[in-house]
Amino acid sequence: MTDDTLRLGRERRFLVLLGVICLALIGGALYMQVVLGEAPCPLCILQRYAFLLIAIFAFIGAAMRSRRSLTVLEALVVISALFGAAVAGHHVYTQAHPAVSCGIDVLQPIVDSLPLATVFPLGFQVDGFCSTPYPPVLGLSLAQWALVAFVLTLVLVPLGIIRNRRKSA
């Protein structure tokens, strides 16, 4: 095995771990929805889509053999995390300033018309309002935890790429 193969293997293992973590976060959100009765709002659902996209791109990237395709998939992971961070940031803002929300979520019909809402309504259909406060988990709201996860992804994926690619150059 060459040194380059080992480094790409490290990136692939990281992507698999990232994908598993994202699926676990979606599973945790479903648990809180079904068992604890916390209804998801449109921004919650969009964050689930972002986590799902990160997981899909991470798993596909982990299966890639060429450095170029791995880089493309890692870029898609970063773009998905950027989208998720923007949505989570807006969600945190909405929860901190409930007056911003008008009581009806204009995103609901749009989010409910996305394909996964009809295929898997339990996981991807809107059922609540974005300004509804739920009890914090370890001191942070779910939107804040999602923002932390997206920002960590935005930081760690490029850092891993730079670290691995610099050593192999």
- The pLDDT assigned to 49 comes to 94
The mean pLDDT value of the chain amounts to 85
pLDDT of res. 61: 92
Q: What is the pLDDT of residue 85?
A: 97
Q: pLDDT of 19-55, one tens digit each?
A: 999 999 999 999 989 998 888 888 889 999 999 999 9
Of all residues in the chain, the percent with pLDDT exceeding 90 is 40
Region 131-148: mean pLDDT is 86
Q: What pLDDT shows up at residue 2?
A: 62
pLDDT tens digits for 88-107?
999 998 888 877 765 567 77
Q: What angle do CA 96, 97, 102 make, to 5 degrees?
A: 135
Give the residue, 147 or 125, on which the prediction is more confident. 147
pLDDT tens, residue by residue, 59-93: 999 998 888 888 899 999 999 999 999 999 999 98
Q: How far apart are CA 73 and CA 68, in angstroms?
A: 9
Q: Global pTM?
A: 0.88
Cα-to-chain-centroid distance, residue 150: 6
Q: Which two tokens stand for residue 52?
A: 């799902």
- What pLDDT does residue 51 have? 97
Query: In the 3-class helix/strand/coil scheme, how is the chain assigned residue by residue?
Result: CCHHHHHHHHHHHHHHHHHHHHHHHHHHHHHHHHCCCCCCCHHHHHHHHHHHHHHHHHHHHHHCCCHHHHHHHHHHHHHHHHHHHHHHHHHHHHHHCHHHCCCCCCCHHHHHCCHHHHHCHHHHCCCCCCCCCCCCECCECHHHHHHHHHHHHHHHHHHHHHHHHHHHC
CATH of domain 3-168: 1.20.1550.10
Residue 7 has pLDDT above 80, yes or no: no
d(CA 161, CA 27): 28
For 91-120, the three-class secondary structure string (H helix, E strand, C coil) is HHHHHHCHHHCCCCCCCHHHHHCCHHHHHC
Which of 49 and 133 is assigned the larger pLDDT? 49
Domain boundaries, the chain: 3-168
Identify whether the C-beta of residue 28 lies closer than 8 Å to the C-beta of residue 47. no
51 CA to centre of own chain? 2
**Does 166 score more than 80 pLDDT?**
no
